[in-house]
Amino acid sequence: MPIYKGNTKIVRLYKGSAEIVKRYKGNDLIYSALPIGYQRVEYIESSGTQYINSGWKPDSSIKKFKVIANAQVLVAQQYSFIWNIGNTFGTGTYIGYGNSISYNNFCLFLNGVRAFQSLVASDLNKHIFGLEINGDDVKTIIDNSENLDTYSVWSSWLTWYNNYLELFGLQSDMTRTYCKIFSCQVYENDVLVRDFVPCYRKSDNVIGLFDIVNQVFYTNAGTGTFLKGADI
């Protein structure tokens, strides 16, 4: 149930740096980051066939966007992407970001070609993975490490945009990355347009990501069933 300050909807509440998930007055629930009927969980996990189509895609009117994912790759192949835009690995319709055991670093790939390599060695631990594209300025973020570079993203790699952002991205064998996602945010021209919370629908136990910005529940676009963490 959302709360408002005037006409402005409050999508997240914090006490210091800690997010408030629920708030009660006596025994009455007066605030929840999710609507009634959904239970927040620590993470959702793909076992290789599950993924989320975010419903969001960059187009020619968007010159700046940022994707931030709190995630953990569980099994690394040659390339294991936490997310991708475009779904044909190694062709001109693909941008991906995640773990690469081939280069021993977290990498950003554009059109199947390694474009950037972060300064952080890749591993199977939980990290904050971030990518910000602002014109031809590209910033990769791993936890507190940032790497800024310049690349002709829009002028030379126009074939990947106008494809949907998919979470639990492709691996080099074209299965979905074995990973956990704890949260994910998408910013378009500095405006938050997606804020995904792992959860399940209580009525049928379907697991997915709830976007608290648009109040939309996104479920598995692949096959099989997501795994989930503990209720929180």
Residues 123 and 223 in one domain: yes
Residues 21 and 69 in one domain: no
Distance, in Å, from the CA atom of 38 to the CA atom of 29, rounded to the nearest integer, reads 14
Q: Is 39 inside any structural domain?
A: no
Q: What is the Cα Rg of the chain in Å?
A: 18
Q: What is the pLDDT of residue 15?
A: 56
- Mean pLDDT, the chain cut into blocks of 10 residues (232 residues total): 57 58 54 83 96 88 87 83 74 67 73 66 86 82 77 54 84 85 94 94 97 94 97 90
Give this prediction's pTM: 0.82
DSSP reduced 3-state for 154: helix
Residues 15 and 128 in one domain: no
Distance, in Å, from the CA atom of 147 to the CA atom of 171, rounded to the nearest integer, reads 23
Identify the DSSP state of 199: E
Q: What is the pLDDT of residue 49?
A: 95
Q: What is the pLDDT of residue 1?
A: 47
CATH number at residue 135: 2.60.120.200
Helix, strand and coil content of the chain, in percent to the nearest 5, comes to 0, 55, 40
Residues 224 and 129 in one domain: yes
Q: What is the pLDDT of residue 108?
A: 76
